[in-house]
Amino acid sequence: MKKTVLVSGGAGFIGSHVTVELIEAGYDVVVADNFSNCDRTCYEGVKKITGREDLPLEVMDFCDLDAVKALFGKYHIDAVIHFAAYKAVGESVEKPLMYYKNNLVSFLNVLEVAQATGGCNVLFSSSATVYGEPDAVPVTEATPRKPATSPYGNTKTMCEDILHDAVKASGGALKGILLRYFNPIGAHPSALIGELPRGVPNNLVPFITQTAIGKRECLNIFGNDYPTPDGTCQRDFIDIVDLARAHVFAVTRMIEGKMKKDVEIFNVGTGRPLSVMELVNAFEKVNGVKVPHKFAPRRAGDITAIWADPTLANTEMGWKATRTIEETLKAAWAWECRLAGK
Ligand code: UD1
């Protein structure tokens, strides 16, 4: 029988790509979203890519406990992937209570209801932000977590802890996987779904694509005096489709009972560091467009260099990032061009 996966925040950037990969892997998916930070573009795009015009959509807020209860009453859910959360680092510094309330309460509600309705496999979307400024790179899952540099980052660390405690106390009803994402970028090769930031993008790649298309005048490269080979920060940029595929491996591992511990943690990255400057250069080269840029002061809270050691995900889950940075940056550009009607 087909298994059903609930994707909270399933209409967003990561959620929509994960939904596509799950459907293509043979899962039934229920998308749930309150559209607080996205419109219906990606949900419609997912339906087109998969040909699933009947893809269930529940418009709801995971902070509403009754709504979460109703959702779990309506569907038999084998696994839940929880994305529904706020994610802007700077905004979280200005509005910490809004971040703690939304990101923690929604996850608590999912866990409470999942357990009460007989148990479930829970995949939580965590972040490399939990490693803070690491003492050594690359980071493995055993690298100690460091205090987060923002309330947003704190909510990731706290939700990791909450999942550990909830699983431990659940008597086997709950099992969990924490996926720690590095820097997800790009778009689906169909250019039907991709990143749709509201207002001025905080993240690097949407800022690059919007500058290249002329929506922004100039990209500020925050800091060129870091102790890195070219002075700009280094990150592990992971293709969004590769990242989405990691969720299929993780969900299957949980559903097929292949986990070795009740909570498992995997880094989801390429293992390949790329500097901000290298990324900008690669984007210009592969797409044959210019990205006007200048160096600007460092951005508060930025980490100098972080990239993943993805060995555990490679060997244990059998997942590996396969897309090249060129493919990824081409897809990001194709998506921006499609948005601009070009
Ligand atoms: C941040 C979050 C991370 C989150 C990720 C995706 C922290 C410390 N980091 O990662 O948890 O998962 O966003 O939402 O909480 N840059 C520029 N110019 C720009 C934009 C960015 O030079 O206009 C640089 C930044 O200084 C940084 C790199 O590009 O060195 C990547 O920035 P960004 O895309 O915002 O991701 P992170 O800060 O790495």
The span from the CA of 150 to the CA of 119, in Å, is 32
Active-site pick, 27, 43, 152, 181: 152
Calculate the alpha carbon distances from 142 to 66, 131, 134, 230 in Å: 38, 10, 12, 29
Predicted confidence at residue 150, as pLDDT, reads: 93
Report if pTM > 0.95. Answer: yes
Residue 319: alpha-carbon gap to chain centroid: 16
Amino acid residing at 203? N
Phi then psi for residue 165, to 5 deg, are -65, -40
CA-closest residue to ligand 1 atom 25: 222
Q: In the annotation, is 100 catalytic?
A: no
Predicted confidence at residue 231, as pLDDT, reads: 98
8 A C-beta contact, residue 118 and residue 173: yes
Predicted confidence at residue 92, as pLDDT, reads: 95
Give the model confidence (pLDDT) of 242-272 as tens digits.
999 999 999 999 999 999 999 999 999 999 9
Predicted confidence at residue 276, as pLDDT, reads: 98
Report the residue among 13, 157, 204 best suited for mutation to probe ligand 1: largest number of ligand atoms under 8 A from its CB: 204
Predicted confidence at residue 62, as pLDDT, reads: 98
The span from the CA of 315 to the CA of 330, in Å, is 29
8 A C-beta contact, residue 307 and residue 268: no
Those residues of the chain that have pLDDT short of 50 are: none
SS3 259: coil
Distance from the alpha carbon of residue 203 to the mean position of ligand 1, in angstroms: 5
Q: Please state the length of the chain.
A: 342
Q: Buried b / exposed e across 246-270, counting CB within 10 Å, b at 16+?
A: bbbbbbbbbbeeebeeebbbbbbbb
Report the residue among 124, 179, 275, 299 best suited for mutation to probe ligand 1: largest number of ligand atoms under 8 A from its CB: 299
Q: Residues with beta carbon inside 6 Å of ligand 1?
A: 87, 89, 127, 129, 149-150, 152-153, 181, 183, 202-204, 207, 219-222, 233, 235, 276, 299, 301-303
Residue 129, both tokens: 């932000």
Residue 92, both tokens: 């979280």
Helix axes 13-24, 41-50, angle to 10 degrees: 20
Distance from the alpha carbon of residue 247 to the mean position of ligand 1, in angstroms: 22
Give the model confidence (pLDDT) of 180-195 as tens digits.
999 999 999 999 999 9
8 A C-beta contact, residue 34 and residue 84: yes
The span from the CA of 293 to the CA of 95, in Å, is 30
**Secondary structure E strands in 244-329:** 263-268, 274-275, 293-296
Predicted confidence at residue 342, as pLDDT, reads: 83
**DSSP structure class, residue 265:** E
Predicted confidence at residue 149, as pLDDT, reads: 86
Predicted confidence at residue 17, as pLDDT, reads: 98
8 A C-beta contact, residue 236 and residue 308: yes
